[in-house]
Structure 1
């Protein structure tokens, strides 16, 4: 009597490829001999493997659908083979464990099954014993480059990622895009980490990796950041360094500060303007300082008369 591969897999004859995979996955796990002693007879497991081996192959399936098991295993008319059917007699290799491994992949195909259903068993499979526990992929770290203005005011950043996800059949996968939203808080420091748990690639035997964005400062045309302080470098002449001047600094929020410098500017001199730095991450209403450093430009050369006058002025 000819066997009904469709009945073996508990599917209809119009079942899709995804339906075939889904049914084999469910029944193979149920009837596998290593399934904690709960499996059915080994012959059932073997019949499932043979049915899947035939129905998952388009050419074998076409031959079986047209000529049945007898035509598949005994041969078909030559004119039928010309239309893409299985052209040689089919003999199942007889190793259902091989089919099972090829379907699930890896040395421990029960790993995802045990994690999902809480089964705790010793699995003698491929030399691997112990509880099938999914492990999480290592975190994926990406730099998030932000302007000082983003960190001064706060901002919202939307980042598109592409990741592999498991399809509804539970076996195949595809690449899909996803938008991750980051709410940037005022005062965040460089090195701050924002974690999106389990947004990495999905797989049947793994826990997706966490995606971690690490804050990095974009170069700024006027300032560098030091904790909550902003550093500004003013370029001045030797005359200004000795006689005094005013520094104009445009702030991150667009104001223009006019800061008088009445001291003599020596190489280690700095001017501190309180409360004009970055917001504090813990309390954005408080701010760090603006620290002005100075780069003094000396003349390339002096005439004899200028040297005399300068010496006279400095000795008074």
Structure 2
């Protein structure tokens, strides 16, 4: 059996975001080693921080609720809603998390009369009238991917600039950071990748999450619709009426030959199964390639051609 993070914080599994915060505040104050000298308080303090780190993050919480601690930390990982995998390890500093949450490097050095505040828990042994830091809204960036990158998968390194709080808890510094994104095969446009608390940080705010949203780069040949690839097949009027052969390139370097003996009307489509992009939830399967026919009409016809066509074509 893995850890029961809900039990660690003393809350029910259907606890709200507010209740998770209250529970962390209560337990962190209770087991902070500066005030609790009992054996094992440091380990319990870290365990409380890890539980809050998981349960306060929607994606981690979803994986944990579905698969437990083993699924969250397992070597094989578990597929999250956007196709990513988890191999979670708590690398955070429980003391830094405590400082970030309470907005003071040592919240025990000053005490204020308790206020009538519904957000304060009556079981909180060190609760003071100090308000929590507010978390800034997510910082959203576009992540432009080519069709080839979605087809094969890749790794992107994104450089961000941000402000971070100095150890004095007051001043801030500017710094750059490289965020690594493992692009999974078949990711759809609109997929979001969240880096918790990697944005600007200050003395009065918790660092915002940094979110990358997948957007498609325009392609010279294809147009993407979900997991399908649209290939514009341009044919002449003669081929449209008399039959045609289209050689369609694939993303892996092959050429597919498609022959049509039927009359091709403008806007007609032909589907080639399994030649599109990988499916985001089942990358071993693929969408389709769709030939979208465009008929090239001549700009003008000579009189003799018009006369011949009027005799041949039905009215």
TM class by smaller structure: 0.5 to 0.7
Aligned to 2:277, the other structure's residue is in SS state coil
Shift of residue 177, structure 1, vs aligned partner: 1.2
Give the Cα–Cα distance (whole angstroms) in 2 for the partners of residues 260 and 115 of structure 1: 76
Whether the 8 Å CA contact 2:105–2:169 is kept in 1: the answer is no
Q: CA deviation at 1:226?
A: 0.7
Measure how far apart 1:200 and its partner are.
Answer: 0.7
Alignment partner of 1:220 is 2:219: yes
Q: CA deviation at 1:277?
A: 0.7
- Distance, in Å, in 2 between the alignment partners of 1:130 and 1:171 is 20
1:181 to 2:217 alignment: no
- Output the aligned Cα RMSD: 2.6
Distance in 1 between residues matched to 2:289 and 2:149, nearest whole Å: 18
Instruction: Give the TM-score, by structure 2 length.
Output: 0.60
Q: Alignment length, in residue pairs?
A: 203
The 1:274/1:212 distance shift into structure 2, 3 A limit, reads: same
Q: Which stretch of structure 1 is more off in the superposition, 113-122 or 151-160?
A: 113-122
Q: 1:123 Cα shift?
A: 6.7
Within the candidate set 90, 103, 124, 1:112 is matched to: 103
SS at match of 1:113: coil
**2:284 is matched with which residue?**
285
1:146 counterpart residue number? 145
Higher gyration radius (CA): 1
Residue aligning to 2:132: 133
Give the corresponding residue for 2:39. Answer: none
TM-score by length of structure 1 reads: 0.60
Instruction: Tell me the residue number matched to 1:169.
Output: 168
Counterpart CA distance in 2 for 1:313 and 1:130 is 92
2:288 and 2:112 mapped to 1: Cα distance?
59
Q: How far, CA to CA, are the matches of 2:183 and 2:211 in structure 1?
A: 14
Partners of 1:315 and 1:163 in 2: CA distance: 70
Aligned counterpart, 2:198: 199
Q: Deviation string for 1:78-104 (max 9, x for gaps)?
A: xxxxxxxxxxxxxxxxxxxxxxxxxxx
State the Cα deviation string for residues 266-305 of structure 1 (Å, max 9, x = none): 1241111111111000101111111111111111222222
Q: SS at the partner of 2:311? A: helix
Q: Tell me, yes or no, if the aligned pair for 1:193 and 1:214 is still in contact at 8 Å.
A: yes
Cα distance in 2 for partners of 1:284, 1:121 equals: 58
Pairwise CA distance, 1:258: 1.4
**Within 2, Cα distance between the matches of 1:192 and 1:115?**
40
Q: Residue 275 of structure 1 aligns with which residue?
A: 274
Whether 1:295 aligns to 2:286 is no
